[in-house]
Amino acid sequence: MSWSATTLSTSETIARHEKEINIQAGSTARKAIYVAAGLNVWLPSDEFATCTYAILTYSDGSTATVNVAADKIALPTAKYITGIDLYDVSDDLLFSFPVNEGYGATLYDSTGAKTLTLTDSSGSYGGGWTETSTSGDYSWQEKIDLAKEMLGNDITTKLKEYGLYVDYEAGEVLIDLLTNPETFLVACDYLTLSLIYQDLLSGGFNELFVQKYQIYSQRYQDELAKGLKRMDIASTPSGTTTDYQIEILGRLSR
């Protein structure tokens, strides 16, 4: 079986190591701003003098452009707003407010340094926070696919270091010499988990996620080294010839 047709890590296999890891990806609930019909709510833009319009992102992934009028960005009603990006007349992004951080009437931008205030005719409007379901793929499949690709690259690098080669002009693939790819399943799981925790860290510093990332990164390196000693190699990519295991010998230098 070719490497490209081989299935290694899945949502089920990574859950053997981290029972609740798929819950991290499986929730579609997130914060949003919702303005009920009949209300007039806006965002003052006078603090951002060069802002000329905003692009609002809704929970279904669609967007809408709202121009600044009288130093205000009027919010539409009956929409779940999950992102607010402010732009200037040159269409340059000034500030991004992801609407996942805030309290009361205050929204924080992606850096945490800038704020916007939900405002109505009575002053600050703190009733806009709600939860909504957002569209999209909420599995770790992209990380699973990336881990297999990275693992394949690491194995290919080692095979080249061992002096193995194939006829690339004939369409042969070096990693297809490997006849027991399943021996790298655990390594692929560990690499997937390290990528997941690295991704989770992008949402802000979390000491537990840092530790998990470091642990699984090291476990991947350890398991990769073991897998390279277990792998069986065919003399041609057809896989029909006798398999043999790579024996790593020391190199003398002077």
Tell me whether residue 251 is in a domain.
no
Candidates 152, 225, 143; CA nearest to 3 is 152
Task: Give the total number of structural domains in the chain.
Answer: 2
pTM of the model: 0.55
Tell me whether residue 163 is in a domain.
yes
Judge if 122 and 197 occupy the same domain: no
Q: Which domain holds residue 205?
A: 11-26+138-245
pLDDT band at 238; cut points 50, 70, 90? low
Tell me whether residue 252 is in a domain.
no
Domain boundary among 93, 117, 133: 133
Question: How does pLDDT run across 77-128, given as a tens digit for each residue?
Answer: 888 898 899 999 999 999 898 887 656 788 888 787 888 888 887 777 777 7
Domain boundary among 109, 133, 157: 133
**Cα gap 58→73, rounded to integer Å:** 16
**Taking residues 211-223, what's their average pLDDT?**
96
Per the prediction, the chain carries an average pLDDT of 83
Domain boundary among 133, 168, 193: 133
Question: How does pLDDT run across 127-143, given as a tens digit for each residue?
Answer: 778 877 665 555 788 89
Candidates 18, 238, 213, 174; CA nearest to 9 is 18
- Neighbour count for residue 213 (Cβ, 10 Å): 20
Judge if 103 and 189 occupy the same domain: no
Does the pLDDT of residue 54 top 90, yes or no? yes
Judge if 153 and 108 occupy the same domain: no
